[in-house]
Amino acid sequence: MVIKTEALVFLVLMFAYSSVPLMVKGAVYNVGEFTGWTTIGHYDYAKWASNQTFQVGDTIRFVYNPTHHNVMEVSSSDYESCNAQAPVVTYITGNDSIPITKEGHHYFICGVPGHCLVGQKVDIQVSSSSTKGGAMTPTASPNSTSPSNTTSSASKFSSKDLSILVPTLVVSAFGFAY
Ligand SMILES: [Cu+2]
């Protein structure tokens, strides 16, 4: 009884932890944080982006002065060359929230001449949700719910051979209880 309850609690906890990143959707990322979207100060957008974990369902928000800047989603090659002549989408409001709907790279530049060349560009790389979930729960993926997998690392009942271990522990548990 004791063993079964603890094992069950452990399984539930493992499942809950591994599920948390999948349930937390819809984060909003302000590009450049408090600096916003600008050339002033030569903000390192590449560094900023590399410190985030973007997922499908999140929102990328560009805040800027629309008289001086804009936002263009462009192709990979146009991103590299800072070509603003063939944008996929252009945003001009000064407060643009762009939902992430698919994985992979999303390339944004400022289309005002010269701005991309001095660094006003950002590559939003969107990872799959499964890779993000691995960070907190290295031993369990949402798929590995069988007892032999999920109880193998952290539990004190961590033998690979439960058929031997469980009877042993039941005996010792009753020994402590009575
Ligand atoms: Cu600009």
Residues lying with their CB under 5 A of ligand 1, a single-atom ion: 69, 110, 112, 115, 120
- Nearest one of 19, 1, 101 to 60, comparing CA atoms: 101
| pLDDT, tens digit, 9 for 90 and up, residues 99-129 | 999 999 999 999 999 999 999 999 999 987 6
DSSP 70: -
Question: Mean pLDDT across the stretch 31-57?
Answer: 97
55 C-alpha vs ligand 1 centroid, how far in Å? 26
| pLDDT, tens digit, 9 for 90 and up, residues 64-102 | 999 999 999 999 999 999 999 999 999 999 999 999 999
The pLDDT, as a whole number, for residue 127 is 87
8 A C-beta contact, residue 41 and residue 113:
no
- Give residue 6's pLDDT band: very low, low, confident or very high (50, 70, 90): low
Answer with the residue of higher pLDDT: 30 or 154: 30
Q: Which domains does the chain show, CATH number per domain?
A: 2-13+138-177 (no CATH), 29-133 (2.60.40.420)
100 C-alpha vs ligand 1 centroid, how far in Å? 22
Q: Is the pLDDT of residue 163 over 70?
A: no
113 C-alpha vs ligand 1 centroid, how far in Å? 8
Across 82-86, 133-137, 141-145, least confident range: 133-137
Rounded CA gap, 33 and 36, in Å?
6
Backbone angles phi, psi at 147, to 5 degrees: -55, -40
The pLDDT, as a whole number, for residue 129 is 65
Rounded CA gap, 36 and 125, in Å?
18
38 C-alpha vs ligand 1 centroid, how far in Å? 6
117 C-alpha vs ligand 1 centroid, how far in Å? 10
139 C-alpha vs ligand 1 centroid, how far in Å? 45
77 C-alpha vs ligand 1 centroid, how far in Å? 19
Question: Mean pLDDT across the stretch 31-47?
Answer: 97
69 C-alpha vs ligand 1 centroid, how far in Å? 4
